[in-house]
Amino acid sequence: MTAAIEKPSFWTKIAYGFGSVAYGTKDAGLKYFLLLFYAQVVGMDARLVSLAILIALVFDAISDPIVGYWSDNFRSKWGRRHPFMYAAAIPVAVSYYFIWTPPEGWSDQALFWYIVVLAVTIRTFITVYETPSTALAPELTDNYDERSSILSYRYFFGWTGGNAMAVIAFALIFPAFVTVAYANGQFNPDAYAFYGLVGSLVIFSAIMISALGTHRYIPHLRQAPPKREMTLKMIFAEIYGTVASGSFFALFCASLLAFTASGLSAGLIFYFTTYFWGFTTEQIGAITLGVFFSAFIGGGLAPIVTRKLGKKRGALIVGLIAFIGAPLPIFLRLIDVLPANGTPEIFWIVLITNTLDVGLIICYQILAASMMADLVEQGEAKTGNRSEGLFFAAATFMRKFGEGFGIVIAGFILSAVGVAAGAQQGELSDETLWNLGAVYVPVILGLFLTVIGIISFYKIDRTKHEETLRELTARKSASR
C-alpha cells in the first residue's frame, strides 16, 4: 500500500500546506507591491515595469514543463521531489531580497534589465520549488474528497502567508519608515528594502520547514519510471500526450484567465485603496487583514462544496458569485450610489465585501487545483505513467503566467488612464480615478465571466474519477 491511498494526517497536511507560504510571500510582493514600488516610489515608467515582467513570463513558459517533467523522472536517494525543494531555497530567497533593493541613480533602461534578470531568477527557482512541492498532493492521497482537503491547507497557508507580509508592511514597516521627507512610509524606498529582507527570510524558512516536514514520507512516495533514452523531441511529445485532453485544456484555459484577472486585481488593489478610495495606511492594513478571514472562509468552504456539489458544479456556482461580486463596489462608486470617501460607511463596505469575495475566490481556486489533481489518474490511464509533476507544472505556470500577465495589463491600464509615475495620494484628478474604474470593471468582469464559460467543458466528476481508479487498480492486479 502506498501513501497515495491513505488519508493524510493533520500534521502531514500542515507540513505540506505550510510550504505555500514561500509562494504566497513571493506572490504577494510581486503582485501587490512590485508595480507600485518601481512606478510610484522609484519613478520608473509603468510600461517598462510591465514589459520586464512580461519577458520573465516567457521564460516561465519554458521552465515550468521542463521542471515538471524532470521531477517526474528524477532519481535520487531523496526521491523525485525533495532534491528540487531543497535546491531552490537559497536562490529564490536571495534574488527576492535584491529585487527590492535596486541600485540608486540607474536609468530606467538599466533598471528595466535589473528587474528582468531578478524576475526571471525568482520565477525560475520558485518553479523549481513549487512544482515538485505541489505535486506531492496526488501522491499523498488519491481520494476525491481528501484532495480538496489537503489542497485547502495549501491555499490557506499560501494566502495567509502572503497576506501576513502585506499586513506587516502596512501595520509595522510603512509606519516605521515615516520621515520628514516621506509623510507616508509607503513611498519610502528604505521601507521596501526592509520588506524584502523579511520576505526573503520567510521564503527560505517556509521552504525548509515544509521540505523537512515531509521528508519522512520519501520512502512511501511513488518512484520514477524506468530509465529510458529520450530525445528532446520525444520528451515534449510525451509531455503533450500526457496532458492532451478536453478536460485539461478547459481547466488550463479557464485557470489561466482566472489568474490573469487575479493578477490584474492585485496589481491595482493598492492603487484603488490608496487613490480611488482614499484610505489611510491603517485602513488599508485593516482591509488586508480581512484576507486572513477570507482564507478561513475559502479553506473551510472548499471541502464542504466538494462533498455537497462536486468540484465542477461547485466551481461554477462559487465562481459566478465571486466573479460578479469582485468589481461591484467600484461599479457602484462609478454610478455614484456609495457613501463619499472619508466616511466610516465606505470603509466598512469595502472591507466586508472584499473579505467575503476573496474568500469565495480562494474556494474557487482550491476546487480548480483539486480538479487538476484528478487529471493525474486520467493521464496515467492513458499513458501508463504517473506525471504529477507535469500536471502541477501546468498549474504553477497558469498561476505565475496568468497573475504576471495581469500585472502587465495593470501597468498599461495605469498609463492609458494617465496615472503619473511618482504621484502621491491625493494628487490624481477625479477624472483620472473615474477612468481607472471605468476601464477596470469591464475588463475584469469580462475575464471572469469567460472563465465560467470555459470551465463548463471540464468532464471529470466523482463517478468518473472513481471509475478511473478502479481501472488502474485492475490493471495493476492483472500485471502481477
Q: Give tens-digit pLDDT for 124-167.
A: 999 899 888 888 888 877 777 887 888 888 888 988 888 888 88
How far apart, in whole angstroms, are the C-alpha atoms of residue 319 and residue 379? 26
Structure letter (DSSP) for residue 326: T
**What are the φ/ψ torsions at residue 397 (nearest 5 degrees)?**
-60, -45
- pLDDT for 30 equals 83
Show the cell assigned to 337. 450610489
84-110 per-position pLDDT tens digit: 999 999 999 999 999 999 998 899 999
d(CA 452, CA 69): 30
CA 317 to chain centre: 21
pLDDT of 222: 75
* Alpha carbon separation from 113 to 34, 55, 435 (Å, rounded): 15, 10, 31
Cβ atoms 13, 77 nearer than 8 A = no
Q: Quickly state the pLDDT bin for 474 (edges 50, 70, 90).
A: confident
CB-based contact 297:359 (threshold 8 Å): yes
Given phi > 0 = left and psi -120 to 50 = alpha, else beta, which region is 150? alpha
Q: Which of 379, 388, 316, 328 is nearest to 354 (CA)?
A: 328
pLDDT tens profile 119-134: 999 989 998 998 888 8
- When pLDDT is cut at 50, 70 and 90, the band that residue 377 belongs to is confident
For residue 435, name the pLDDT band (cuts at 50, 70, 90): very high
Residue 141 confidence (pLDDT):
78
Nearest to 291 by CA among 269, 275, 315: 269
CB proximity list for 222: less than 8 A, separation 6 or greater: 2, 4, 80, 139, 386, 388
Name the more confident of 195 and 262. Answer: 195
For residue 396, what are the CA distances in angstroms to 36, 59, 85, 256? 24, 13, 14, 10
- Give pLDDT tens digits for 22-56: 988 998 888 778 888 998 888 888 888 888 887 87
Grid cell of 199 as nine digits: 520576505
Radius of gyration of the chain (CA): 22
Q: What is the pLDDT of residue 54?
A: 79
**In a 10 Å sphere around its CB, with 0-12 CB exposed, 13-18 middle and 19+ buried, how is residue 317 labelled?**
middle
Q: What is the pLDDT of residue 31?
A: 77
Task: Give the three-state DSSP class for 135.
Answer: coil
> How far is the C-alpha of 461 from the C-alpha of 67, rounded, in Å?
29
Give this prediction's pTM: 0.73
| Chain centre to alpha carbon of residue 315 | 17
Buried b (16+ CB within 10 A) or exposed e, 391-405: bbbbbbbbbbbbbbb
What would the pLDDT profile of 176-211 be if each residue is shown by its tens digit?
998 888 888 888 999 999 999 999 999 999 999 999
pLDDT digits (tens, 9 = 90+) for 384-407: 776 777 777 777 777 777 877 887
396, 137 in Cβ contact below 8 A? no
- HSE (side-chain half, CA atoms, 13 Å) at 443: 18
- Mean of all residue pLDDT scores within the chain: 86
Which strand (E) or helix (H) includes residue 108? helix 108-134
pLDDT at 199: 95
Residue type at position 445 = L
pLDDT tops 70 at residue 278 = yes
Query: Closest Cα partner for 444 from 344, 330, 276, 313?
Result: 330
Q: Is the pLDDT of residue 3 over 60?
A: no
Task: Please report which confidence band the pLDDT of residue 5 belongs to, taking 50, 70 and 90 as the band edges.
Answer: very low
CA–CA dist 318, 309 (Å, integer): 10
